[in-house]
């Protein structure tokens, strides 16, 4: 067996042992999200406007909504702000 293969095998064993230990450490913690919780977090808006709530508004109102709910992650002009891409 080559030296590289031995090192790769050793690294894989160490990583799998660490993952197994971490998985057991948090056993019994948390729960599955309810359908209502998933729906509340499903807030994406696609380029074709899918995901927007029904209704109407104006450009000025849209700007208020963007600044209050979107700009903190996506930037004032959708330039990313290093959190999420536009």
Residue 45, pLDDT score = 81
Looking at residues 36-61, what average pLDDT do you find?
Answer: 85
Looking at residues 43-49, what average pLDDT do you find?
Answer: 83
Can you tell me the distance from the alpha carbon of 16 to that of 19, in angstroms, rounded to the nearest whole number? 5
Residue 43, pLDDT score = 79
How far apart, in Å, are the Cα atoms of 7 and each of 2, 3, 4, 10, 21? Answer: 9, 6, 5, 5, 21
Does the pLDDT of residue 66 top 80, yes or no? yes
Residue 35, pLDDT score = 94
User: Are the C-beta atoms of residues 43 and 49 closer than 8 Å to each other?
Assistant: no
Can you tell me the distance from the alpha carbon of 86 to that of 80, in angstroms, rounded to the nearest whole number? 5
Looking at residues 6-35, what average pLDDT do you find?
Answer: 75
């Amino acid at each position: 067996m080559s030296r590289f293969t031995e090192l790769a095998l050793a690294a894989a064993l160490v990583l799998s042992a660490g993952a197994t230990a971490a998985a057991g450490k948090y056993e019994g913690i948390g729960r599955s999200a309810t359908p209502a919780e998933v729906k509340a977090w499903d807030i994406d808006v696609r380029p074709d406007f899918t995901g927007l709530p029904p209704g109407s508004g104006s450009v000025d109102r849209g700007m208020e909504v963007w600044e209050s709910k979107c700009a903190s992650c996506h930037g004032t002009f959708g330039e990313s702000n290093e959190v999420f891409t536009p």
